[in-house]
Amino acid sequence: MMEETKLTRFQRRYLMDCMKRGDTLPLQCYPTSCKKPAPAAPAFSPAVCQPSRLSAKPHLRPAKVCQAGDAYTREKFKPQARRDLEKEKQRLQNILATGKDVLECNVRQTLVRTKEEEIPEPDRFEELVNEVQERKEFLAEMEALGQGKKYQSIVLTEISQKMREMEIIDKKRSEEMREIMTKDFPGGKSFFP
C-alpha cells in the first residue's frame, strides 16, 4: 500500500516507526521533516479545541439542515426579449402586405445615397502644410522641455521631405494652370512668357 501511494523513504520510515510504537498514524507527514511531531494529548485529558486538527470521522449535516438553507432555492427566471417584437411584427406585416421587406429597401437607399454624396478628397497640399506645422510645434515643445537636440535632426528631416513633396505638387499645379490658360487664349499663345 505504501508503494502505491508513492511515499518517500523518509515518510515510509516515519510511518513504520509509528506503527512499531503503537502510536496513531499522523494526519500529515512532511516529506523532509527531521522534527518529531509533538506527542498527542492523552485520551483522559480534557478536550482542547484545536482548529487545525481534523477529525477522522466526517461531520455530515442532516438533510433538514441543508434544505433549510438557501442551497436548494432557485432564482426566478426573468425572460428578456432579445429583439424588438414590435419591429418584428411591423416587418412581418410589410412582408405580407407588399411582398417585400422594408429593411432591404432602406439598405438599398442608403447605398445609393452614399454613391451620390461622394466625399471630396482632402487637398494633399493642405495636409502637408498641417503636418509641417505640427512638426514645428512638436519641436518647439521638445525644446521647451530641454529635449530639442534629441529630436531636432529627425523633425527637420521630416519637414524637408514634406517641403519637397509640396514643391512637386506646386509644379504640377502650375503646369496645369499654364495648359488651361493656353487653351483659353486665341492663337494658342500663352499669357505667361
- 191 pLDDT tier (thresholds 50, 70, 90): low
Residue 136, in any domain of the structure? yes
Q: Is residue 46 part of a domain?
A: no
Domain annotation covers residue 133: yes
Q: How many domains does the chain have?
A: 1
Global pTM reads 0.36
Q: Which domain holds residue 143?
A: 124-182
Residue 189 lies in a domain: no
The Cα–Cα gap between 141 and 125 comes to 25
Average confidence score pLDDT of the chain: 77
| Three-class HEC string of 81-117 | CCCCHHHHHHHHHHHHHHCCCHHHHHHHHHHHHHHHC
**Is the residue at 60 inside a domain?**
no
Report pLDDT digits (tens) over 32-62.
Answer: 655 555 555 455 444 545 555 666 666 787 8
Q: 141 vs 71, which has greater pLDDT?
A: 141
156 found inside a domain: yes
111-133 pLDDT, tens digit per residue, is 656 555 666 677 888 999 999 99
- Is 162:132 a contact under the CB 8 Å cutoff? yes
pLDDT at position 153 is: 92
In a domain, 135, yes or no: yes
Dihedrals phi, psi of 34, to nearest 5 degrees = -90, -15
Residue 15 lies in a domain: no
